Amino acid sequence: MSKTETSPTTPQVRILIVDDHPSTAATLARALGQLGSAAEVVSATNGSEALEKVKDKGVDILITDMIMPEMTGLELIEKLRDHPGGKPSRTYLVTAYDVPGLKVTASRLKVNEVLIKPIRPERIYQIISRDIEEMKQSTQPLKNTGPEKRKFKILVADDRPDNLTLLARYLEYEGYDHVEAKDGEEALIKAQDETPDLILLDVDMPKKNGFAVLEEIRSNENLKHIPIIILTAARLDSADVQEGLNLGADDYITKPFDRRELMARIRTKLRVKEAEDATRRRNRELSLLPEIGKELSARTELKDIANILLKRTAETLGAIEGHMVMLDANGNTTEHYQISVSNPEAITEQMILEQSLLNHVLDTRQGVIVEDATKNEYWLFNEKDQTRSAVIAPLFGRRDLLGLLLLTHEQENYFTLDHLLLLQAIASQAAIAIENVRLYQNVTEEQKQLEKIKNEFIATASHDLKNPIMSISGFSNLLTKAGPLNDQQEEFVDRIQSSTKNMLELVQNMLHLTEIDLQKSETSRESIEAIALLKEVVNEFEIQAAQKSQKFALQSEVATAYIHADLLQIKQVFRNLIGNAIKYTPNGGEIKVITKLAQDYLEVQVQDTGYGIPSADLPHIFDRFYRVRTGKTTEIEGNGLGLAIVKSIAEAHGGDVRVQSKPDEGTTFMLDLPLVGRAVLQNG
């Protein structure tokens, strides 16, 4: 039986859990499984999957991880706001780090609570069952009030109810929030779930005494920084005091205590804690740096760098907009990338930078904080713009200023020096990544230049070789006519002739390929009826197939099919495929040429029952000069250019060629060519 009973009239609450760590999502989902039929739990491991799963029906409660690949938790929240089924009434954001800007951004997006990992399943169960209870009680949809202004939260652990009441009253009077625990175990659980800012801890308590609680908290990575004041009426000896302090208590106060003194001590500890929190946060922010650096260095496109950079920095610093502006040597904007955290549609047309800003950055090599955007010499204020403050960091390459990184906020004086320093640190990493991208692009452009030079060289050489080869062929032909030759001489002439034929083919094929690469070949595009052309090529090869006693036929499903193509090139494709099939099939084998219609493509299959191609060679056979070097095909002559030509021509025509083969069984080449208009099938 489930823990929470629902009457049939209570509508079921739909909960969506999204976390890219599958086990976290599963743990949370399992914890909520205890709610039984009161809740329907949907879980997903990324934003798009989540959106897909809830596209037909909205959810009431959303629990989402913050940093997920592709879509962050904040973006998901944003997207779900516009869900036709209504936005979730409760939203929880789960994160591994409590980055400073996150709470601000989260509150802007009306997130109810930011939960820091690790989260105990019991805690999530508690939160959600409370929500469900509240939803049941009000027939009205829940009003989402968002998080309140931050108050310090103090955990009071004491087994005596009168002590609890008294301390609670004092704390309320001072303006603190408080949570209570009646024994040691409860104190530990509340410390984990509520992450209080300070703990007032009694020593003699049931289940676990205060010293044991203290020891456990100090050895817990997530809790050890919480200040603890021991408050006791029983353990008054100096040995006890020593023990408590040695175990890590920040203060040891004995009862009866002076109220004002206690409050003063609490205030001091909280002040220290605040300063320590800021340092801890800063450390965490710094640990973000290598993470971002790693993400950036894997990118080869500027827009990807901009995207990661703007997302991560805007979220971390709680900015509403982020801009990356790339500059040329004269300070003119060459590219502008931007994101808006709260409203993805709000896109500024152009980012106009003040010359004074550029001068300042170039002079000092430092960024700036714009405290009040309405009156600041570095900021061009625009009435329509909601920006009231900004932080700007330069992207300095090894030599030049590559651009600027700008984050904006709708409140004045939002950004602090810490923000600027962090942004500058991130910007210097990004600048390296940007320079690498440019270098990479230059190199690719160069590797292309070289390719072009090589192609031109091959083209010229092939072209120049053609004439001498033709002349060898011509003169060797004349030899036979110039006078009688003995048998051996005739055999030599035959060999010369067959070699020159091969050479000529090779040279022509090389020329052809380089011309395609250089986009020099004179391609004409005309409307061609492919089936008739195929018949023509099949006829050409009939004699060759007959010489090898091969069964050879065209089986066309399609009667006519028009393609927009270069006639000579397509003819060459058909010739190369059919020529190979005959060449690589032993005597007595069978070759079938089949045509089929596949959507808007004509598929031509050339099937043979020949030697086949070993699977290790298959991925390479369309490469230039690649030939299978094993088995029976080794002795067959060829240059390994035919299929490379087939592939480039097919691709240049918007088509494709594929192969399937099994050694000793046969090979099928499948050629797809895009159709123009409708093809006609054989039977009508």
Rounded CA separation 669/305 (Å): 42
CA distances from 622 to 120, 139, 231, 625, 669 (A): 57, 69, 81, 9, 11
Residue 638 lies near ligand ATP (rule: CB under 6 A): yes
Q: Would you count residue 627 as binding ligand ATP (CB under 6 A)? A: yes
Question: Which of Mg ion, ligand ATP, none lies near 387, with the C-beta cut-off 5 to 8 A by kind?
Answer: none
Binding test (CB under 6 A) with ligand ATP, winner from 164, 214, 641, 650: 641
Candidates 336-344, 391-399, 565-573, 611-619: pick the segment binding ligand ATP (CB under 6 A).
Answer: 611-619
Task: List contacts with Mg ion (CB under 5 A).
Answer: 580, 642
- The site partner of 265 among Mg ion, ligand ATP, none (C-beta below 5 to 8 Å per kind) is none
Residue 581 interface partner, choices ligand ATP, Mg ion, none, CB cut-off 5-8 Å depending on type: ligand ATP
Q: Shortest gap between Cβ of 530 and ligand ATP (angstroms)?
A: 20
Q: Considering beta carbons, is residue 209 or 473 the nearer one to ligand ATP?
A: 473
Of 269 and 571, the one with the shorter C-beta distance to Mg ion is 571
628 contact choice in Mg ion, ligand ATP, none (CB below 5 to 8 Å, kind-dependent)? ligand ATP
**Cα(451)–Cα(517) distance, integer angstroms:** 9
The one among 639, 656, 660, 680 contacting ligand ATP by CB under 6 A: 639
| Binding-site member from 29, 63, 437, 628 for ligand ATP (CB under 6 A) | 628
Residue partners of 554: CB distance under 8 A and separation at least 6: 534, 535, 538, 592, 593, 594, 595
Q: Please identify, using beta-carbon distances, which residue of 389 and 580 lies nearer to Mg ion.
A: 580
Residue span binding ligand ATP (CB under 6 A) among the ranges 416-424, 469-477, 563-571, 603-611: 603-611
Per CB under 6 A, does 609 bind ligand ATP?
no
**Per CB under 6 A, does 574 bind ligand ATP?**
no
Nearer to Mg ion, 318 or 642 (CB): 642
- Please state, in angstroms and rounded to a whole number, the distance separating the CA atoms of residues 485 and 525: 49
Cβ neighbours for 23, distance < 8 A, ≥ 6 positions apart: none
Q: What is the 3-state secondary structure (H, E, C) of 288-324?
A: HHHHHHHHHHCCCCHHHHHHHHHHHHHHHHCCCEEEE
Q: How far is the CB of 498 from Mg ion (least distance, A)?
A: 16
Question: For 602-613, what is the HEC assignment?
Answer: EEEEEEECCCCC
Tell me how far CA of residue 483 lies from CA of 470, 476, 486, 578, in angstroms: 21, 12, 10, 39
What is the nearest approach in angstroms of ligand ATP to the Cβ of residue 528?
23
DSSP for 513-547 reads HHHHHTT-S----EEEEHHHHHHHHHHHHHHHHHH
H or E element, residue 282: helix 259-297
Please report whether residue 510 would count as binding ligand ATP according to CB under 6 A.
Answer: no
Residue 101 interacts with ligand ATP (CB under 6 A): yes or no: no
User: Residue 599: left if φ>0, alpha if ψ -120 to 50, beta else—which one?
Assistant: left
Neighbours of 47 (CB within 10 A): 24
Comparing every residue's Cβ against ligand ATP, the nearest one is 642
- Phi, psi values for residue 578, rounded to 5°: -70, -40
Name the residues that contact ligand ATP, by CB under 6 A. 509, 576, 580-581, 584, 608, 610-613, 621, 626-628, 633, 638-644, 667
